[in-house]
Structure 1
């Protein structure tokens, strides 16, 4: 019988069956998500209503929280990627259920997966493996032609000035880059078209250049930079020196421009010094002009770094940057999905500034003054921080001091700014409490669909059970599919997720089983090759002086080597290849009293090194449940006295 692949990856189904024609529940819902049709959600909701809603129960129209309900066994429509804040990780949520699906360790150490402990993860961490903290802020998914392509997710580490890349086929970080010449990477966004060639990253804190002990007390010689990282090689492609402290950034839909909010035009180093000026600015970068200037030899280098550095300060006048004055200590910078506007949020002013991207060519050509690129500046409320969009011409801005989200219409705001008597504010909704970032479904792409809005609140106070002095933060989900915003979910979360992004589930293609030639464990494969080991079949112990390399396979519920002997003080490297091919059949390896723990997914090879410093019998066991005889999946490391 011929077979047809299930698009949701749940196995093969006979072509002649009703399942092959997409009539299974999961297959039907997957197809609905792929086309992104609003009606598909309605049909799925009707099915759910017919199957499970008791007579007399509230409808979604009567109780908006029902729209966020995803029944047991059903799948969410979106993946949500949440930054883990100062935990250093990325969290994966299902939207609209807000169920946490996975945590992806990036800048942190993870006992469950062995991230930061295994040799493969230490290779990714590189020199940054010496850091035991991270501050993950802005997760963003790679794009092709302004649409999410599901290939990579990028995120920054403000604490240690790094940018990381996560492969979305395996949900693992595969590259981390330390950014030279700068301090504290904050805002991060991606080039949208024709594809994500560059990852744009703002360094926030000015430092002396080079930062080698000179000019310690002379803030007038402190500078920071806008950075472009090649998305494929993860090498820093170029840097641009700017005036002031860079904050958030975004790119346009032509591939030509990126822009950053910039505060501290005063160039102060203390709080009061950074708030005197009524206007700071948005810095706009001309990407083709930057590339041309580098080709023309106008770049220099700083210190030991080989990265090309261009002078984009106002006084340099190289034609690669322009500075647009905006009020006051601006924070968020967001591009409307129609590609027409950059929106800069004032933070210490109740206003947002709407920058007309269509006027930037004239601005760089010197035909207009910088303020002529402002299409409107409109008042929304106290503490505007970040703006997101629904794809229907409306914007949604968090008001930190007012603890509200303001829904407003961009076209009406421009009309009002030009003197017409029109109310551009559509609604204000109370949120709890002090919202920072917000993010609507698909909003950073051309496909913004205006269904869901996530609001990341900095405080929860009385929203959840008391957890002592340290309270959780509160992520709230809002239905924005209709004319009115409706709060449907509160979600407690730890360690201040800073930002998030939502992509449709059909835009990702995660694998169930590792490919044996995956580059993620290439370094381990090369080491095995030098030792004459075939990872898929060999179970051997190789002794090289005080270096002991143990190669074993695993297949539920047993390890290929169930005991091995070393001497006290030996450095032991254990490499395990999981021979199981069943989806979700992950093994673990944990050595008691040695701080050794790692996961080995189906068909994965993983390795970990440690010192056997205590003589005696030391058991190792599988710490990821794998089989009815899981408890018996053990072995012994016998350590002889030195």
Structure 2
């Protein structure tokens, strides 16, 4: 008899696919009726069609992708740029994390951008969005939130660098993020997720049950990145979306019970979608009908529903329990609230919201025009611009394609099947996004599905494994899987932008505000950064200015004293694109990138007497290894 170990799969006859779907099968009767379309088997014809789709997704050597994908980096704290449809990772943009390759979090420029939060070394990015004009991407900015440390950041898309970071007051954990689409992105909206006591200064720790708790919906000025206003709401805010008129924003809300334990947060039958009337909020702020809290000057409005009475600027539409994703169809007609714990997605007609805010409905649910049953665990929805929606089913490990107008007809009593197709994904999908689906230009070509588990898809890497991003061709009647690949640290969401909508710089402009601080200091020191290599002493502060041009630094050595605060400012004089230099001091934790025509600076303490090499970290020349110099640190007397 063989000693081969008999696995649970062998004993039960279940594949890993089947095992993961067991829960879904058990609960399938809960989502009967219109949601019972099964997954079709892969026929030879289907496989042949998939092969053709895979050829469409192929991007050959030296060919360029059609789209930029802006990926969140999850708990890595970064943002990633991925080409579509090749799914090749092109760049990692450090935002809330530290990066030794670029020096982000170490250079003076990055510390100035991070501001008072520069000491925080982690981040948790979830929901990237890109700036728009008239509901179309304009290539100016991407925005990303930090759930871990309650921040929002802006990324300049012309240089793919973060240039602003704002800490949001009064709330904890920014989760959902969205922005105004028209006439242009003037406001960025952020959901504070967790309710917290006010004031949260520790004085209420022994009587938290008596303390008032709340969270807020915040709006930031997209240009200044200052918080423009905040609205106190009922419950925990989750995800958010906006309409195409600039008038309404919505946010899914869970924990309507205002509880702090799991059981308590599950008591109510329903939670809600909170709807914000932006012009009315701005009227209140302009009229001075707001409060301020603590030492913040941010206008705060109370948008809670009290004693059954609504405010003029918020409404709460009941939806099934613990809704998650909030989305807007590219035709601007509907908001969507994904059920998560319900097999449904709630569809709300935006053209009914004026009547809702004018109190013409006896029931807030009169704005609901459909609530299709799709399967178990609908988390997020995206769109192809042809009237179809695509929803991720977390528990079923599937994506379901469904027709919006047919779902509305079904809700009105017609016997019509709104589900077009279901496909398996691997495994437990969260976010998904179709090409240009956040804009009027949704083109229905590609769908990216971000799954939380990869299980058996890739080589095992120990207990911590890669996750799985999958690419589907959705240009035809059926979704066809054409690529999957590993992803690290839980990418939550993406936006997909056509490549012609982003114009990146090939080299830096010398007067770029990104390194304005270094330029100002050099001007004060009377140093011409493009021609001078100089050491300036100011007591125990030493400022070292040097140029770099492959394969040499402008200074082959400089001297300082033990304990000096040293600031090294390097200007890359190379004007050839893709010829970056780096500056690293051995054994000092000092490293930074200096791309063509860029100036970078970094400050550190010369704490170790002796001779210490600095060298170029980015391979720039055949004599790259020789591009080095010495920092001579004289010991204290």
RMSD (Å), alpha carbons: 1.1
Residue 430 (str. 1) matches residue 424 (str. 2): yes
State the Cα distance separating 1:538 from its structure 2 match: 1.1
| 3-state SS of paired residue (1:391) | coil
Q: Per the alignment, do residues 391 and 230 of structure 1 end up closer, same or farther by CA in structure 2, a change over 3 Å counting? A: same
Q: Per the alignment, do residues 259 and 529 of structure 1 end up closer, same or farther by CA in structure 2, a change over 3 Å counting? A: same
In structure 1, what is the Cα distance between the partners aligned to 2:198 and 2:222? 26
Q: Is the 8 A contact 1:94 1:101 kept in 2?
A: yes
Q: Is the 8 A contact 2:175 2:193 kept in 1?
A: yes
1:144-201 Cα offsets, whole Å, 9 max, x none, are 0000001000000000000000000000000000000110000000110000010000
Aligned to 1:453: 447
Q: Per the alignment, do residues 437 and 492 of structure 1 end up closer, same or farther by CA in structure 2, a change over 3 Å counting? A: same
State the Cα distance separating 1:64 from its structure 2 match: 2.7
In structure 1, what is the Cα distance between the partners aligned to 2:262 and 2:50? 48
| 1:473-484 correspondence runs (5 A) | 473-484=467-478
Which of the residues 178, 182, 206 maps onto 1:193? 182
Which of the residues 286, 300, 305 maps onto 1:309? 300
| 1:595-606 correspondence runs (5 A) | 595-606=589-600
Which of the residues 204, 207, 231 maps onto 2:193? 204
In structure 2, what is the Cα distance between the partners aligned to 1:619 and 1:605? 21
Aligned to 1:524: 518
In structure 2, what is the Cα distance between the partners aligned to 1:396 and 1:492? 22
Which of the residues 270, 275, 285 maps onto 2:261? 270
Residue 587 (str. 1) matches residue 587 (str. 2): no
Q: How many residues are matched?
A: 585
Which of the residues 482, 493, 506 maps onto 2:487? 493
Aligned to 1:19: none
Which of the residues 309, 321, 330 maps onto 1:337? 330
Aligned to 2:459: 465
Q: Is the 8 A contact 2:50 2:481 kept in 1?
A: no
Residue 319 (str. 1) matches residue 321 (str. 2): no
In structure 2, what is the Cα distance between the partners aligned to 1:317 and 1:274? 23
Q: Is the 8 A contact 1:60 1:66 kept in 2?
A: no
Gaps of 5+ in 1: 1-57
Aligned to 1:18: none
Gaps of 5+ in 2: 1-46
Which of the residues 368, 374, 378 maps onto 1:380? 374
State the Cα distance separating 1:409 from its structure 2 match: 0.2
TM-score, reference length from structure 2:
0.91
TM-score, reference length from structure 1:
0.90
Residue 144 (str. 1) matches residue 133 (str. 2): yes
1:512-566 Cα offsets, whole Å, 9 max, x none, are 0000000000011111111111111110000111101000111111111110011
| 3-state SS of paired residue (2:118) | helix
In structure 2, what is the Cα distance between the partners aligned to 1:61 and 1:192? 35
In structure 2, what is the Cα distance between the partners aligned to 1:550 and 1:445? 48
| 3-state SS of paired residue (1:366) | coil
Which of the residues 93, 96, 100 maps onto 2:85? 96
Residue 612 (str. 1) matches residue 606 (str. 2): yes
Which of the residues 223, 247, 250 maps onto 1:256? 247
In structure 2, what is the Cα distance between the partners aligned to 1:70 and 1:277? 51
State the Cα distance separating 1:219 from its structure 2 match: 7.2
Residue 535 (str. 1) matches residue 524 (str. 2): no
In structure 2, what is the Cα distance between the partners aligned to 1:575 and 1:496? 36
In structure 1, what is the Cα distance between the partners aligned to 2:209 and 2:525? 56
State the Cα distance separating 1:378 from its structure 2 match: 1.2
In structure 1, what is the Cα distance between the partners aligned to 2:314 and 2:526? 56
1:586-618 Cα offsets, whole Å, 9 max, x none, are 000000000000000000000001111111110
Q: Per the alignment, do residues 517 and 414 of structure 1 end up closer, same or farther by CA in structure 2, a change over 3 Å counting? A: same
Which of the residues 160, 165, 172 maps onto 2:154? 165
Q: Is the 8 A contact 2:50 2:482 kept in 1?
A: no
Aligned to 1:397: 391
| 3-state SS of paired residue (1:464) | coil
Aligned to 2:71: 82
